[in-house]
Amino acid sequence: MNFSPVSEKIRFTGRVSVENGSIVLTWPGTAVSFRFRGTNLSLNGFNDNFGADSILGAVIDGEEKKFFIGGSGKVYIKIAENLPLTDHSVVIYKRMEGHYFTVESLETDGELLDLPKAPDKRIEVYGDSVSAGSVVDCEEYAGKTDPEHCGQFDNAWHAYPQILARELPAEVYDTSQGGIAILDGTGWFEMPNTKGMESCYDKCRYSSYRPESDWDFGFVPHVIIFAIGQNDANPDPDMLKKPEKREAWLGKYIEIINAVRSHAPKATVVLALTVLGHDRIWDDALEEIKDRLGGIENKAYHFMYSRTGTATPGHPRYSEQKEMAGEMKAFLEGLPEETWE
């Protein structure tokens, strides 16, 4: 049987775009989840590629899979074959950046089943490559710089936001993009005309390579994690030492937080950089933002991992991402109970 992905029995996670009966996965980690009873499962879709060749991810009954889908064009993927004739749980997710993937229809010899209730806790993360899971799947490089030609190691499922969501448990929207900074004209995203989170935080389709679309902020999180600051020293590593530039950066960061929070006025804000090496001046700047937001009295926190900025000169690998997720989980579990109301 052939099923539309736009169904009450299919759950979307992350900023997805519903277009003409299809689901477009945009940000890394966006996903569709469902259950079915049957032995085979296939997907009809379309890959809109504007970076390196793409890889799609799936998790079937807890088993992780990846599918190389290359460049732009129609896609037919056999997600699973010869499964036992029983109930199965499936997550199909956007593993990496550099493309949009459209889920047009699903095919199975069985039937879709009702999903269990989504977790009660809700989190959104605004981050960069670490939060998106860039270069996470090369564990032999833990604590080391990245290997060459490393895009095939990107995997949002192994990034700390997704690990955290599975362990809490919580529903997570991971609004993260490799290379992104706060301000346009800084960072590494879309070199040489770089684009910052100031132009992307309110978008569903956000890449300059394709027409953009606005996000409706229909997902209302209990906790919003802001993890931007790793890329902001490009092209000026001394930016925060210059009063005018520092104030512009702080002011825009606070403006974005307030704009996001206006759609979730009860949400707790957590500012936290990552274990990837960086100058402590950026952590100090987040501490100042926390204070300007009103601190704990206004449900604004600055969290630092035990190895913030010191664990590795390369992207955190799966073990390091799990370390981050574990520490963030402990921190969130220590927040007041009303955080999750």
Residues 314-336 have pLDDT tens digits of: 999 999 999 999 999 999 999 99
Domain boundaries, the chain: 2-113, 122-340
At residue 250, the pLDDT reads 98
CATH entry 3.40.50.1110 includes domain 122-340: yes
Residues of the chain scoring pLDDT < 50:
none
The residues near 127 (Cβ < 8 Å, ≥ 6 apart) are 161, 174, 175, 176, 225, 226, 227, 228
Question: What DSSP assignment string belongs to 19-50?
Answer: ETTEEEE-STT-EEEEEEEES-EEEEEEEEES
At residue 316, the pLDDT reads 98
Question: What DSSP assignment string belongs to 157-221?
Answer: GGSHHHHHHHHTT-EEEEEE-TT--SSTTSSSTTTTS---GGGTTTBSS--TTS---B-------
Question: What DSSP assignment string belongs to 96-123?
Answer: SSSEEEEEEEEEESSEEEPPPPPPS-EE
CATH entry 3.40.50.720 includes domain 2-113: no
| Residue 263 token pair | 């759609």
Residues 70-81 have pLDDT tens digits of: 899 999 999 999
Peptide bond into 235 cis (omega under 30): yes
At residue 149, the pLDDT reads 84
| Residue 139 token pair | 């564990």
- Report the distance separating Cα 158 and Cα 154, nearest Å: 9
